[in-house]
Structure 1
Amino acid sequence: MAKSERHRFGLNSREAWWDDPLPDPENNGPDQVRWPIMGAVFLLPFLIPVTKSLASRPEVDAEVVFIGVLVYAYALCYLLFPFVFRRTRPVKLGFGIGMNLLGLGVVAAASASPFILLYGTAVMVFLTPAAWAVIVDLATLAVGALLLVADGRFQDGYGDLITVGSVTLAMFFMANLIRAVRRLELANKEIATLAVTNERQRVARDLHDLLGHSLTTITVKAGLARRVLESAGDIPRAVEEIREVESLTRSALSDVRATVSEYREVSLSAELVGARAALRAAEIDPDLPHAVDNVRPEFQTTFGYVLREAVTNVLRHSGAKQVKVRLGDTWLEIEDDGTAAEVVPGNGLRGLTERLAAVGGTLRASARPGGGLLVRAEIPLPEPRAAAPAVRAEPAGGLA
């Protein structure tokens, strides 16, 4: 599963209930310096009455020591829980369960108000996955209620239990809102990264298709002009070829600018004209269609890219003497009689495969038995929607 698919913004799936509450590796939870100070302030309403009650005992015995250890261990856990935020899930879960057990111990041993359970239930909500927080906090409240019943304090303490449950529920939703915001921030970062990556791939693919064809054609025509001058000394023809090279260079520069700006459109008919000129300059017999009327308009741009890259490969690698191009309403075939005996995937074929896949099409390149390659691009038509069933009108009241 991709990383972006793991970002959930609520509890609308079973997996989301068990997700780690800290998807952001840069987030350490509450500030480890300021939180102990703030936590000590929050603990005062709990520690002051319990400490006074213990201090009022006439003598210090084992029971007083035991209760004091429970009380201050419980308070210490509340102060130190930010330090376990980056720990593994078992450590955090053990810490939260242990703190809730300490809170229940204080309620049972010191006959304290069940309101003190709020410290443990709140820590559980922010520290562990939502499912574990619900399980442990509900169990804590249930055991707290049983302790009140066993001690005969249920009538006086059930209101505090309801308060603890209500506040814990509010904190539960607050914690999950914070997690959703964090996940949303991470998702936005990933979207931005993917957008940059996709744009780089688009520019790289377009520049490869554009410059590969243009530079190959320029090289072929420049070589033709050189051969004309060396062999026949036909200056007018050589000058004409050089003019075409100049025109191609200007056109390539314009296309590069348009590609970077994403304003460039490829025309299948224009690519046929350019392919015919490039193949003739390379002394390859072009067997090309003269019109593209039989190709669906929405596919012509994609097929233009395919034709451009296939002709470029023929000029570079094939050693062919003839190239045939056939067009259909949803397909394009380019066949050459070169010396290639196998298909060697390169950046061009990979780029064309990506282009066709983006519109639901496929690209197949295969070696011909006598040598050469056959490249076929095909884009299937979308399936027609099922027509709504016809409804026969009946006279009012169903009477004939």
Structure 2
Amino acid sequence: MFQSHKTAKSLTWHAARKSVDGQMSHPVDSPSWKLVDDKWPEFGKEPRNLRLALSSDEFNPHSSLSSRYSCWPVILVTYNLPPWLCMKRKFMTLTLLISGPKQPGNDIDIYLEPLIDDLKSLWDGIRGVYDAHIGEYFTLRGVLLWAVNDFPAYGNLSGCVVKGYKASPICGDDTPSHRLKNGHKICYIGHRKWLPINHPYRRQRAAFNGKPEYGMPPEPLNREEVLHIVEDINYIWGSKNGGSVGENDGDRVCWKKKSKFFDLEYWKYLHVRHVLDVMHIQKNVYDSIIGTLPKIPGKNKDGIAARLDLLNIGVKTNVQPKYGQRRTRLPLGPWNLSRVKKRAVCNSFYGMKVPEGYCLNIKNLVSLKDSRLLGLKSHDFHTLMQQLLLVAIRSVLEKPARYAITRL
């Protein structure tokens, strides 16, 4: 990158940039960036030193329905570049491509060892790098600011448990979890403690679990506490369960291993080491919502087990299954769409016109025959969730359900 005159100039863009509105619009405005400058002044004085982010996730290049092949690309992104360049494909470095019949899971650290060694060398400094913009040789250094992943990959890279009874990285051992009797899923009902102390939801009983919430949210673990917990964990690489896992889910510890990233000298000092991919999570939330409203098979979260679990915790007792001689019927809840309303929503999407470059042509994504949307990309999920879905459901859902989706 430094051998290109234009790119080498862009790599120092952050040094001359000043935030005039007080908003965080680039990682250079973040406390993590300023921490590196303050703790290692020699590193911060050289604007050409690289600030990197690592991203990894699983995808199947052959078929989304096949589980016989797994592929994990590990990509480095350079944050020295301005926002309109750092996310371009030519500036994303594919460092590893982990492929095989199974996903690496918690053993991904074994595959990351060569990359960690390169990051150590980059932190120590690489001499003799030629800067085509200034026309001189210099010693290049680099720091990995954080890793960007979805929630399951976050668990594999950080060594934290992200499923089961203790799936909250913040609550840890005090995660308020409850196993549903009929759906056999684990739900987390203590989320109201993060609301302001005088929020009306804290006093509501019938809409939640029949109890008020007066608890206070726990404090997240700082970097010294996390390192102290994982320092002595003896994880058995290649084993199915590992050496840090208890006998059953109730005894499962919150941390499984010491992440390989702690081999980096600076990793334990960073404020934020792992970042969740918001648009990926937003896609999953949208899939659940748009699958439940029109009852799309395979994506519908509303079934007999879900209705019975609502009855057990005393929520929405008026929409329970109606048992007949031949079949069980589910009454329409305030969140369900009838056939006429489903057609109205699809016609609303079909008639939408958006500015060029805003998102894909919504008209081409609508299947009026099946009353559903097909072929959506991540950015399309973003625009639908933020604005377009709110317009489409405005006249077809009752106020409580519509307001809940709008506020979400």
- Structures share fold, TM-score greater than 0.5: no
Larger Rg: 1 or 2? 1
| TM-score after normalising by structure 1 | 0.22
Q: Which has the higher helix share?
A: 1
Q: Which has the higher strand share?
A: 2
